[in-house]
Structure 1
Amino acid sequence: MIQVRYSIPPSGAETATTADLRASLLVGDLFVRGEVRGTYTHDDRLLVGGAVPGDDDVALPAWSEVLGTQSHLERRELGVVNVGDAGHVVVDGEKFELEHLDGLFVGRGSDVTFGGEDAAFYFVSAPAHATYPARALAHRDVEPVALGSPDAANERRLFRYAWGEEVQTSVLQFGVTVIARGSVWNTFPPHLHDRRTEVYCYVDLAEDDRVFHFLGRPGATRHLVLRNREAVINPPWSIHSGAGTGSYAFIWAMAGENNRYTDLTPVPTEDL
């Protein structure tokens, strides 16, 4: 199953109801046992999805009615993060074992299947102009960047899986940020990147916990409340920052004009 979302302008976000914003920007119900589900956004033509194999392996769908190709990765590249228990991804016959929060980059033109009875895979694909080899990205092997502080309640570790440096990609960037216990804020102070769309998928929340995700233009922000394993589309004109009621992590993925990680504009707190 796949859904399609269309772009909304900044002014539309400022006058939309909460229900309208959720319908346009929040992506839920991606993880259903035995299925692969996706949502395609016209913002930089990102496609986000969830694959829960269950008893049998499941293939990455072509979704030809949306992508206009015979296979999903005919003109795209893919980033995968396992948000469940141990599982595997098979890329052109090569098997990659993924533990919880392990990542995988898959280049253009590959065939992909997902497996693992208790695994759950979050994935993002983006149009690609070049082909690069698949690369496993074990969470434990990625050196995190320490950000924030306990005093500001925004202490976190940023794990950059593909970010325009060690792993070659065409446009896709993705990774995982883990919020320290006792902290609540992510990506604060916030920033903008006019040349890229970014999607957050919040994971590892307790059943009763939520993340209050802030979006919109500085000075005219709105918020959405997200549960575990829900994602939110952040257009290039929007900030993207959140505060949780308990411990959590989130997967960030973006694509656009470039894959230069530092291509962003900080937003001072006084401008919010």
Structure 2
Amino acid sequence: MEIRSASNPKDVKNYTTERLREEFHIAKLFTKDNIRMVYSHIDRIITAGIMPVYSELKLEAGKELAADYFLQRREMGCINIGGKGIITVDGTEYEMNPRDGIYIGMGNKDISFKCVDIENPPKFYVSSCPAHTSYPVVKIDITKAKKVPCGSKEDCNKRVINQYIHPEVMQSCQLAMGLTMLDVGSNWNTMPCHTHDRRMEVYLYLDMDENDAVFHMMGEPDETRHIIMHNEEAVISPSWSIHTGVGTKNYSFIWAMCGENQEFDDMDFIETKDLK
């Protein structure tokens, strides 16, 4: 498990491209028969990529959590962006087709991941944060996610937000998670942009070709920076930072949030004319 420290916006203003990527960019999330985890001290979120092919992979706490098992004091969400797989939670198997999601609450001990077809292995994208109580396991396939159309073709940001772990879909402690899909011809996400000082956020960009990229914008509204993102790479967004991006073509991204509350109307919108 890789550990990332929290950051101060005053320091980030002086970061080089290399340092910016070192602190916030997460690459190589999915490698065969491996679990890659990044623990951020920003709201203590864990971002993980799990790709079983030949071996069943078990989620372990590790010494970094100082816990007997991974979800002893945590909850987690997972969306499968690869082929069909199976997640087993305390002996109960859940079939995970492409774009299926699942919420697993605090207290579940034995969690493992396995492949169904080695020619098309699953890619389980996991977000986990601290929890204060336990809620039931909920399987949420993409048809059960709440769909929120937004944006417009004229503004190059027509998209559908699929809310998986969200107060209007199911109950969690503080984790929220979903999948946003941009229409063909649209390439901006979350514009006009915003901050939400009560919650941090992590984006995973996907559905991109090898030579495509998203220019992910971050930083304080009057001191922005960008990180170039490629397919299946994630980026950490502190609560003080804007988070938006523009791609060389349309793409999708998974967003995961945690922090003080789940009130989605507490965003502080930034006028585009005020960005610097």
Normalising by structure 1, report the TM-score: 0.97
Shift of 1:144: 1.2
Deviation sequence 1:35-80 (CA, Å, 0-9, x none): 11100000000000000000121011212x2111011100000000
CA distance in 2, matches of 1:143, 1:238: 26
Aligned residue in 2 for 1:241: 244
CA RMSD across the alignment = 1.0
Aligned residue in 1 for 2:139: 136
Q: For 2:146, what is the secondary structure of its paired residue?
A: coil
Aligned residue in 2 for 1:47: 46
Aligned residue in 2 for 1:13: 12
Map 1:44-83 onto structure 2 (within 5 A). 44-63=43-62, 65-83=63-81
Shift of 1:156: 0.5
Aligned residue in 2 for 1:158: 161
Q: For 1:221, what is the secondary structure of its paired residue?
A: strand
Pick one of 62, 82, 85 that aligns with 1:84: 82
Deviation sequence 1:99-128 (CA, Å, 0-9, x none): 212110000011211111310100010000
Could you tell me which amino acid in structure 2 is paired with residue 73 of structure 1? L
Pick one of 232, 254, 257 that aligns with 1:254: 257
Runs of 5+ in structure 1 lacking a partner? none
Shift of 1:192: 0.6
Normalising by structure 2, report the TM-score: 0.96
| Fraction of identical pairs, as percent | 40
Shift of 1:141: 2.6
Q: Are the equivalent residues in 1 in contact too, given 2:146–2:169 (CA < 8 A)? A: no
Shift of 1:13: 1.4
Could you tell me which amino acid in structure 1 is paired with residue 82 of structure 2? G
CA distance in 1, matches of 2:163, 2:266: 15
Pick one of 193, 198, 201 that aligns with 2:201: 198
Structure 1 runs (4+) deviating above 3 angstroms are none
CA distance in 2, matches of 1:264, 1:163: 16
Aligned residue in 1 for 2:100: 102
Q: Are the equivalent residues in 2 in contact too, given 1:206–1:246 (CA < 8 A)? A: no
Q: How many residues align?
A: 270
CA distance in 2, matches of 1:99, 1:33: 18
Q: For 1:19, what is the secondary structure of its paired residue?
A: helix
Q: For 2:212, what is the secondary structure of its paired residue?
A: coil
CA distance in 2, matches of 1:13, 1:74: 34
Aligned residue in 1 for 2:267: 264
CA distance in 2, matches of 1:141, 1:128: 24
Q: Are the equivalent residues in 2 in contact too, given 1:215–1:234 (CA < 8 A)? A: yes
Pick one of 130, 143, 150 that aligns with 1:147: 150
Q: For 2:95, what is the secondary structure of its paired residue?
A: strand
CA distance in 2, matches of 1:94, 1:28: 31
Shift of 1:12: 1.4
Q: For 1:144, what is the secondary structure of its paired residue?
A: strand
CA distance in 2, matches of 1:166, 1:157: 16
